Structure 1
Amino acid sequence: MNVAPKRLLSFVLVVALVTGGFAAATTTATADSSVLLVHTEVSPTQPTTDANFTVSTAVTNAEDSDSRFAIKRVTVFDENGDERRTQLNETGTEGWVPAGVTKTVNHSVGIDEAGTHELLVRVRLVSPTDGVRTVERTVPVTVRQPHPVLGMQFATTVAGSPTNATVRVANGLDAPVRNVRLSLDPEKTTFRTRSHSFATVGAGAERSVSVGVSGETNGSETVRATLSYDYNGTRYTTTQRLTGEFVQPTNPGRVTLTNLDVEPAGDSLRIRGTASNPGGSNVTGVTVSVRDSETVRPGANSSDFFVGRIGPSDFGTFETRATAEANGTVTVPIHVSYVVDGVERETVRRVTYTQPANDGETEDSSGGLPVELLGGAALVLVGGAVVWRVRGGT
């Protein structure tokens, strides 16, 4: 909702009381007369329909008054004929007003319908000598349409990547606005340009600007927008808070590693696989490498593999090397980095590999000669002599 600054509509009701009762007049009070002086004032001349304004009623008891009185009730109406009179606000008993004291009663009121309205202020006063008296005054006021409406929308983007914001100025007034100045103050992001201007925005027309945005482009952003413009010869300024959501693409580009295979290659391990992009946008600068762990380290001069650009629903193959630092099963961290929509991303995939056991000779636990299987025969020590025993033969 667009909130314009509150417009102050002041009604100054000055009631000078002396002994002898109430009388309406436009002259200054004298020592032997009773004078009721009422003065009304409206500022500014055109409140708006989108914000409340304040009706202030000031009641003053004259310095030389020897009477006191109380404000019993103050009521503000939108007066459009008795049948259409609308009560806007009312205040109950406000207490006594001694001599030389001014008491002010404030009412916050709002009018939703643009056009000329006649406001009626009704003040009910109580005096110990004159009882209850009612004073009414009317004043015309013109309520105009709201300020031009501001709106903001962010382009679809991956969280954290630069994007653009479109800020619109829509003039719903009945005349052009001129010399338009727009200032933008974001809360958490950085706007490349923060001040903009238009010579004119026609009645019922719309103008917009596109602004580069960087920084924390995730979640939502609130921008304090200040708009100044000339309308029918009067300069107006309104401040509105604009909120926009950063919307991520439904299927952004990303890299996944599949078909991973680890095999020995000399004194190192060779890792092969596929870097796939299942997303709907390009990824660039794809690089696959081996990272250190407790059981492996990157292979010398061959641990990084540059895949490059991978299009949507496309893939690239890679080969990299690692050196085992332990026997048995080792864990190889495979790191992949890439850029999508101007933002660098990275992920790590871990794959395990069990190295084959060593093929060394094993001695007999009794300390005797070793037994070797040679084809289908066995060399056996029997009674100090060596004989051949052939299995399955004759």
Structure 2
Amino acid sequence: MGKKRVIVLGAGGSIGKNSLEVIRRFPDRFELAGFSVHSNLEFAKTILAEFEDAQFVSTKKNDSNLKYEIDVEAVRQLIEKSRADIVINGIAGSAGLKASVEVIKSGLDLGLANKETIVEAGELIFKDAEKSGSTIIPVDSEHAAIFQLINAHKKENIEKIIITASGGPFLHSPKEKLGTMKLEDALKHPTWKMGGKITIDSASLANKALEVIEAVNLFSFPPEKIEVTVHPQSIIHSMVQCKNGEIFAQASPPDMKNPILNALSFPDMPEPFLKPLDFSQAIKLEFMPPRTDDFPMLALGFEAAKKGGAYPIAFNVANEEAVEAFMQGKIGFTDLADITQEVLNSDWTMKPSSYEEVYDYENRARAVALARILARNSSCNKIY
């Protein structure tokens, strides 16, 4: 069997850089066929100097500085020119959905790190994947673990999915201090090296909320059969409870190169990228319930998953805009949940039946979120 030809979308991000590391480590098995960056052309030059035959595009639209806008035509051309076997989509946020749509329609296999694709348009994506023959392999560490566990223990035998959360940098912070936390505090993740947006989502538990919605759509489990537990060591990535009460876990060091390698190797079992856990040494594993009263984003995510319709879209977009405002210093940390709740208070019961409707709901939710952020920011300016 020849080398797998790989496209890496979002090569300048955390997932993208880890994907390149995996390709470097196994040059006899993987070849970089193509890659994209948003606007970091200097980084692109360094990749092209190393991988001379790789195709390259910038996904930044010439007429837009918005992070959630990408040049879809550039992605389409990259897919057509690269003659690839699989695409790793590491584009962050709702912008990654449009890239996923192009990959699925092309029939290429998709290693999916962009959870917003499944959160916002899971049903549409899976319908198109069935038509085109594309296989979707989760790259998110938790969903990659669930994917393996379901394949090993059969879905019909599984009663419940248990997703682990690190707890983020504010795991032990008292509630009264959360409102004073600054951006630099939220970016100090204790176990994972990730991009800024997802690190803040981890601090607020919004990331875990998105993972719950993603698991509902990926594995066709109702939210009532999905549980979240805080596991600060980030060694157990997910668990399944079978109908006989037994619980099976997937464990590995907290490094995204493992699930990326698994996705690129699917359906084969690869040799490990990292050293396995060493049980000749003491290993501490802790589990505790999440503090949902102090971190309400998780409960809001469960609520959106249960309501369905366009609520998951509204949740995702509201959080996306709130995080951007927090990173710009316009709102405080606890405002993230308040703004998301205010957006979810609108009616989002209609279920999108096309990608165009998904994008329309995105725009509507974004407008509501931006209005709430502006109102909150204006109030603060009046006070001070």
Higher share of residues assigned helix: 2
TM-score range, shorter chain: under 0.3
Q: Which has the larger radius of gyration?
A: 1
Higher share of residues assigned strand: 1
TM-score norm. by structure 1 comes to 0.19
TM-score norm. by structure 2 comes to 0.20
